[in-house]
Amino acid sequence: MAIPSMTHNDALIVVDVQNDFCTDGALPIEGGETVVPVLNQWIKKAEAETVPVYASRDWHPRKHISFQAQNGPWPSHCIQDTRGAAFHPDLTLPLSTIVVTKGTRFDHDQNSVFDETGLAYHLKQESITRLFIGGLALDVCVLASAMDALANGFEVILLKNGTRAVTGEGAAEALNRMEKAGVRIIEDDPESTDIPFCTKAPEWAEHARPNEDADDTCDDGRAG
Ligand code: VGL
Ligand code: ZN
């Protein structure tokens, strides 16, 4: 099956590619960082087609309800403004990236990027109808986001090579559920599509990171 071209009415959604979900993070997902080069390729392709890039981040307050110390399921992770909550440093998010912050509520966790974020409203305002989704974790936030995207009337393409799951069984179940619900799952490398890459980006853009400031803040000795 041919890889769908990215066009207008598409958006790329990069879910929670944050340090805490990678090796040595607080909630490490096996091979979490391996999604970075794959998603960087999709980001490049999106930029070449002027397809907007959205990056969600899990952004928990201390003592979040999802933490084990609060009787939740997870070790504490992605605490606001810490290094663990920062996007992976090798993720080449363009300056134009729109960041979607979730997991900030005190009364419930927000696994889906659509859960009380207003994102569906915004995407509809932008006339976006189809979402390319990758990131972490396949069986938690990517799954919840893809299912909510369908429920909100979007077409969904899962970038399978650009995601990793917390558990192996979780991965199989997530893929199964998504496929049954109507998510299109693609495994191909974006290099193999018919979309030309843009000619070389300007120097400054190659090094730009929207979270540069957050990183600096963490460098001066604060927790994280
Ligand atoms: C996630 C576990 C806890 C995720 C977030 O982004 O998939 N997983 N919080
Ligand atoms: Zn979380």
Contact between residue 158 and residue 42 where contact means Cβ atoms under 8 Å apart: no
Phi/psi at 91 (nearest 5 deg)?
Answer: -75, 120
Q: How many Å apart are CA 91 and CA 221, to the nearest integer? A: 23
- Report the percentage of the chain scoring pLDDT > 90: 80
Closest ligand to residue 167's CA: 1
Question: Could you read off the pLDDT of 85-112 as tens digits, one per residue?
Answer: 999 999 999 999 999 999 999 999 999 9
The CA distance from 149 to 197, in Å, is 27
Ligand 2 centroid, distance to 66 Cα (angstroms):
7
The edge-to-edge listing of strands for the beta sheet with 184-186 is: 98-102, 53-58, 10-15, 130-136, 155-164, 184-186
User: What percentage of the chain has pLDDT greater than the value 70?
Assistant: 83
Distance CA 64, CA 79 (A): 9
Closest ligand 1 atom to the C-alpha of 60? 9
Nearest ligand to the CA of 104 is 2
**Confidence bin at 211 (pLDDT 50/70/90):** very low
Ligand 1 centroid vs 180 CA: distance in angstroms? 22
CA angle 24–54–205, rounded 5-degree value: 85
User: Among the atoms of ligand 1, which is closest to the Cα of residue 18?
Assistant: 6
pLDDT at 33 over 50: yes
Encoded tokens for 80: 């606001």
Cis peptide, bond prior to residue 205, ω within 30 of zero: no
Give the angle 31-88-4 at the CA atoms, nearest 5°: 75
Whether the pLDDT of residue 175 is over 50: the answer is: yes
Residues with CB under 6 A from ligand 1: 16, 27, 58, 74, 136-137, 140-141
Q: Do β-strands 98-102 and 130-136 pair in parallel, antiparallel, or remain unpaired?
A: unpaired
**Res 30 pLDDT > 60:** yes
- Return the residue whose CA atom lies nearest to atom 2 of ligand 1: 140
Judged against a pLDDT cut of 50, whether residue 221 lies above it is answered with no
Distance CA 172, CA 186 (A): 15
pLDDT at 8: 87
